[in-house]
Structure 1
């Protein structure tokens, strides 16, 4: 008999932490903080079971229905906090106040000698976070309303900065607010995919030592990604970065052009992640983008990406190829492939197959990321794929 609905908050919280520990290691300090801070008190309008389930709880939305703020799923919260490596007595800046839950855990980690400042651009979000933090015994957390890239500078320098909204770039203001050995954890977006990344200062640049799949509400005021509709009915779109030389006019109607279908010899079982294929593509091919297909496009066969809402694709001129999958004769297993359209569609699909094969040789490898501010010279020995941001150059290398 399922007793989840009747379980106490303490029982549900213990189950939540045990579930997280089944998939990843946590430091004793982070585990203890997760067991102590009452997550349900930060999402009072959500059912108790939802507060501790492995799901994001939406707390604020725009008038058009898009999400403004939410309580992120417990696993990504725990993973990012663990990667942040918070120590007692440190000064912490959080950008993206959310419900206040993350700030409460940070305050628990830094202890009475530390300081936590959380900033959000929306006053409704910060007002709710302030209420929640005060009600749960964390009045010492500083809650500010403003632009997280600049409005917390008066309380710098910080030992750690954590970003809990999706960032397309890293404002230089964050660099200036750090101690020399500071550590930054954020959801960073490039080539249509988002990864939580832990970065440390390494002289005049940032260097990663941790990469984790995630999804976050995007940060306001960072326009870096563009959207192009491919078909007359608006059912299929590409999401691409502003530094990519994509001729959007030549891509209209591309799905009606000659089609190539290629299959690799690589298969996965139904629960096995294959998101690192996207990372591989972004680290070698400047044409890497995200394709998004409405279910009506999938049902009609117009466009059938592996995951309809978000799959990697490659673009070159008037041609396109995207990642796809199909069931195999073996129950529970799927074959990985690519579909191309246009005169270069077959070549682009073959490139995707090539990176599927590279991924297959080491399915858990993540790239190292280097972030150099614009104007900082790159060492001659710097290798890897460069991606241009507004104020930085992102280098990916394996």
Structure 2
């Protein structure tokens, strides 16, 4: 089930039961407590302006607030993603939980999980969002949840320490308040964004750092306030843009635009193309100068770039050249073969590096969950560790087993 036809099933109780069954079938829900929470909370009460079928759709978000230009600022997250993150969190009765980002329904799930002996606090920078969440929570019977208007970057220190901190907006960094607000055996679940790709990561303490227990692909609206991402972008031409949040990566729009006019170099890896989200994660954290290439349909139809750029693809860039992933049909590699398209004076060198990583991933790491993330708070060491991404408050590293 990805959507339910309101003409077929109109009763919200039936929609909710169907949602829970399908979430179980898809292994988004794997525990009885999370199943019970999703069965208990009247999800549609937190999206009164939306059709029932949309409120109970597994993979759809419900817009809650837009700016004057129509940009979505806040949504009710998709049920599938909420279930996965709650399973990652491993919440138990009696726990104290802080949610950063207030949609309302997730706080209700949290209250069901911690029970009457637990505490749930939800914080958001937007007063409108908090007031809406408060109204929905009260009307649905979750008056015990505490709502706070504040910048989530600072946490809610009055209630610390927390057994769990769950972030429901895409975060570019992990501020000291989130780590400092965790209990000794606490867990942080955060959608962490690195160069345009986001993973929901469950972090536990490991000495002075954090280490991941699990991760999964996630899509969230970005964090606002002090925690907003520091991103640069280069518009190459209409419909083609390159973005990066790594200060060490060069981005020259004129030079990269000229590169796209140069003859294309294709390099095929001989390796299977599979599990694109895992492959892209590996490339993002292993390419020496990574950015993310995006293109619209018109640019792809004009053959300016390959179709892989439609949803965003890891790109290896230099001052005057660019390389990115593509694929072609190849029965010898199980259906598709991964490859590289490169442009510019350094196309050969970039294609060689990119193709080497494609082969290494396919040979050594072609499976789900092969990465382990660490977050090391404090000033970045010099030199930076391999696969390290510097951030304002620390560094993100990843290794593959």
Give the TM-score of the pair, scaled to structure 1.
0.91
**How far does residue 327 in structure 1 lie from its aligned partner after superposition?**
4.8
Alignment of 1:49-128 (within 5 A): 49-53=53-57, 54-98=59-103, 100-128=104-132
Alignment of 1:174-253 (within 5 A): 174-221=178-225, 222-231=228-237, 234-249=238-253, 250-253=255-258
Instruction: For 1:311 and 1:284, locate their aligned partners in 2 and report how far apart those are by CA, in whole Å.
Output: 14
Instruction: For 2:31 and 2:101, locate their aligned partners in 1 and report how far apart those are by CA, in whole Å.
Output: 24
Show the counterpart of 2:368. Answer: 364
Show the counterpart of 2:262. Answer: 257
Aligned length in residues: 388
**How far does residue 158 in structure 1 lie from its aligned partner after superposition?**
0.8
Q: Is the 8 A contact 1:204 1:376 kept in 2?
A: no
Q: Is the 8 A contact 2:195 2:292 kept in 1?
A: yes
Alignment of 1:206-355 (within 5 A): 206-221=210-225, 222-231=228-237, 234-249=238-253, 250-267=255-272, 273-327=275-329, 333-355=335-357
Instruction: For 1:36 and 1:209, locate their aligned partners in 2 and report how far apart those are by CA, in whole Å.
Output: 28
Show the counterpart of 1:11. Answer: 14
Q: What SS does the corresponding residue of 1:137 show, helix, strand or coil? A: coil
Show the counterpart of 2:173. Answer: 169
**How far does residue 305 in structure 1 lie from its aligned partner after superposition?**
3.9
Q: Is the 8 A contact 1:306 1:324 kept in 2?
A: yes
Q: What SS does the corresponding residue of 1:131 show, helix, strand or coil? A: helix
**CA distances 1:201-226 after superposition (whole Å, capped 9, x unpaired):** 11211110101001110001323221
Instruction: For 1:5 and 1:349, locate their aligned partners in 2 and report how far apart those are by CA, in whole Å.
Output: 52
Instruction: For 1:59 and 1:149, locate their aligned partners in 2 and report how far apart those are by CA, in whole Å.
Output: 21
Q: Indicate how the Cα distance of structure 1 residues 386 and 376 shifts in structure 2: closer, same or farther if over 3 A, else same.
A: closer
Instruction: For 2:56 and 2:44, locate their aligned partners in 1 and report how far apart those are by CA, in whole Å.
Output: 7
Q: Indicate how the Cα distance of structure 1 residues 12 and 103 shifts in structure 2: closer, same or farther if over 3 A, else same.
A: same
Query: What residue ranges of structure 2 are gaps of 5+ in the alignment?
Result: none
Q: Indicate how the Cα distance of structure 1 residues 307 and 17 shifts in structure 2: closer, same or farther if over 3 A, else same.
A: farther
Give the TM-score of the pair, scaled to structure 2.
0.91
**How far does residue 197 in structure 1 lie from its aligned partner after superposition?**
0.4
Query: What residue ranges of structure 1 are gaps of 5+ in the alignment?
Result: none
Instruction: For 1:149 and 1:365, locate their aligned partners in 2 and report how far apart those are by CA, in whole Å.
Output: 28
**CA distances 1:216-270 after superposition (whole Å, capped 9, x unpaired):** 1000132322111112xx32111101422314253233211231112333455xx
* RMSD, matched Cα: 2.3
**How far does residue 171 in structure 1 lie from its aligned partner after superposition?**
0.7
Show the counterpart of 1:21. Answer: 24
Q: Is the 8 A contact 2:270 2:338 kept in 1?
A: yes
